[in-house]
Amino acid sequence: MAIDNFIVVNNKSYDLNNLSETERKRLEHMKLHEEHKGHEKMHLEMFLILVVCLIITQFILIQWRQRHLRSFQQATLFGMWIVPMIISLYNVWYRFIIIWAVFSLIMAFMAFSATRKPIAMTTPSRVYTWFLLIYKLSYFFGIIGYLVIMSTLFGLNILFMIKPAAAMDFGFLITFYGLYFGVVGRDLSAVCSDKMAAQIGYYTESGVPTRILDEHVCAVCGNPLISDDKDKCYKLNCGHTFHDFCIRGWCIVGKKQTCPYCRERVDLQRMFKNPWEKPHLLYGSLLDWVRYLVAWQPLIFIVIQGIFLTFGLK
């Protein structure tokens, strides 16, 4: 430990004023090794605890999702919504707090519209339009952030006279905002999709519809099917036809892979033949991974840190 201008290494005291810069660094390096001497066993124990906790929590989360999907989704959505806000309040990140508050108010209004009884015939279209907009903005900001990060790594920030640290911070910030609000919006849209479809009556959680579907009615929004350029229709393999916009919102934004009426599995690869649309499927998978990273990873590490403190591991 350094005391004023002296440093003690191997029970010997050295005057830093009488040492060269190279000797100072050498002694500080020796002191660092001396302070951590004998900690190898402790570090191994901490590593084993970390690995075991990660495996156990992964197993618990997988079993929870398989056995009680609805409660798992609700807990994940709540974690996604509240954990970043708590971290932002603790670190006083005003920008995120303001954006989060505005986003939450709009989401609350959309959720209210989707659950209000009786549901208006224009509500599904309005709700899906909003969530699809959030999804596309999330995709856009995620791509922009990624391009900024990669261009900074290749040194292209010099062309714009921007410092590497500032460019990387901007890239990571834009990427985080895009992925985070994309995940929260997508999870809430799945809840709203269930509520709206259940109220319209052509879809129920039990799989038994409360209304018979007319071949000229869209089961997602309950409105008549009119095949024109403004509102195209799409027919699934099961034979049921929907508005193209509705079924895309149901599958992409609402995270559904079954027919809204008969629950037959939807062939997403067949639905999205355009190669420019296929990345949306991959992006949806990325959002699923981000959901775990934001909602559960902080809680897992808090538990692990508590175990370390309990056993006196540092």
Taking the C-alpha atoms of residue 90 and residue 23, their distance in angstroms, rounded to an integer, is 42
Burial category of 136 from C-beta neighbours within 10 Å (exposed 0-12, middle 13-18, buried 19 and up):
middle
Taking the C-alpha atoms of residue 142 and residue 148, their distance in angstroms, rounded to an integer, is 10
Give the single-character DSSP code of 119. P
Weakest-pLDDT range from 260-264, 269-273, 277-281: 277-281
Weakest-pLDDT range from 62-76, 139-153, 162-176, 251-265: 251-265
- pLDDT of 271 > 70? The answer is no
- Residue 298, preceding bond cis, omega within 30 degrees? no
Spell out the residues 6+ positions from residue 157 whose beta carbon is closer than 8 angstroms to its own: 151, 163, 164, 167
Distance from first CA to last CA of the chain, Å, rounded? 18
Q: Give the pLDDT of residue 291.
A: 67
Q: Give the pLDDT of residue 102.
A: 94
Taking the C-alpha atoms of residue 244 and residue 73, their distance in angstroms, rounded to an integer, is 27
Q: H helices within the chain, ranges in order? A: 21-35, 40-67, 69-91, 94-115, 123-153, 164-200, 244-248, 268-271, 278-295, 297-310
Q: Output 1 or 175, whichever has higher pLDDT.
A: 175
Confidence of residue 276 (pLDDT cuts 50, 70, 90): very low
C-alpha distance from residue 49 to each of 43, 307, 309 (Å): 10, 8, 12
Pairing of strands 233-235, 12-15: unpaired
Count CB-CB contacts under 10 A for residue 206: 7
C-alpha distance from residue 69 to each of 64, 65, 74, 277 (Å): 7, 5, 9, 28
**Residues 152-180: what's their mean pLDDT?**
87
Structural contact between residues 104 and 184, judged by C-beta atoms closer than 8 angstroms: no
Taking the C-alpha atoms of residue 14 and residue 58, their distance in angstroms, rounded to an integer, is 51
117-152 tens-digit pLDDT: 777 777 877 887 888 888 888 888 988 988 998 898
Q: Output 157 or 289, whichever has higher pLDDT.
A: 157
- pLDDT of 254 > 70? The answer is no
Q: H helices within 201-240, ranges in order? A: none
Q: Where are the domains of the chain?
A: 2-35, 69-200+282-310, 201-271
Q: Give the pLDDT of residue 36.
A: 62
210-224 tens-digit pLDDT: 667 777 788 777 778
What mean pLDDT value characterizes the chain? 77
**Residues 237-244: what's their mean pLDDT?**
80
DSSP three-state, residue 241: strand
User: Which residue in 265, 223, 276, 216 sits closest to 245, CA to CA?
Assistant: 223
For the domain with range 201-271, which CATH number is right: 3.40.640.10, 3.30.40.10, 2.60.120.10, 3.40.605.10?
3.30.40.10
Q: Give the pLDDT of residue 104.
A: 92
Q: Give the pLDDT of residue 3.
A: 45
What are 29's two structure tokens? Answer: 């390096």
Q: Give the pLDDT of residue 275.
A: 45
Q: Give the pLDDT of residue 157.
A: 82
Confidence of residue 80 (pLDDT cuts 50, 70, 90): confident
Distance of CA 193 to the CA centre of its chain: 19
Could you give the count of Cα atoms lying within 13 Å of 251 in the half-sphere of its Cβ?
A: 26
C-alpha distance from residue 108 to each of 20, 72, 111, 189 (Å): 64, 20, 5, 11
pTM of the model: 0.68
